[in-house]
Amino acid sequence: MKADDGSPLIGIVGPCGSGKTTLTMGLERHGYRCRHIAQEHSYVQHMWQVITNPDLLIFLQCSFENSTLRRKLNWARADYEEQQRRLSHAHDHADLVIDTNMLNVQDVLARALDYLMERNL
C-alpha cells in the first residue's frame, strides 16, 4: 500500500509500552508515512497484513517490566506473554526489530532512521 507519491508505508508493531506511538510520531516528523498497528490486541496473528499490509514492518520489543513501568499497567505476566504470542507472526516477518529496553526515545528513532536510510527510503 503506497501513497500516490510512491512513498512506502511503514508498519510499527510491538507490545504495550514498547514505543510504537512515539516512534510513529518521530518517523512522521521526518516525512515517513507510518501506521501504528495494534496487533497485540488481535487474536488473528496476521492481522497486521490484513489491515495494513505495510511495505516495511518495524517490530519494537520491550520486557514485561519495562512495559508495565512505561504504561503504568496493572497486568499479569501472563497478559504480556499472551501479547508476545499474538505478536509472534509480526516479529517473525519484521524487517527490523529494535529492542527498546535499554534505549531512549532518540536512540530508537535513530536506529529506525539509520535502517531506512540504509535501504534508501
Specify the pTM: 0.89
Q: What is the pLDDT of residues 53-103, one digit of tens each?
A: 999 999 999 999 988 888 777 888 998 899 899 899 999 999 999 999 999
Sheet holding 33-36, edge to edge: 33-36, 9-13, 56-61, 96-99
Cell of 55: 511495505
Residue 58 C-beta-side C-alpha neighbours within 13 Å:
30
Q: Does CATH place domain 9-114 in 3.40.50.300?
A: yes
Q: Where are the domains of the chain?
A: 9-114
Q: How far is CA 49 from CA 1, 36, 102, in A?
A: 11, 13, 29
CB contact at 8 A, 35 and 10:
yes
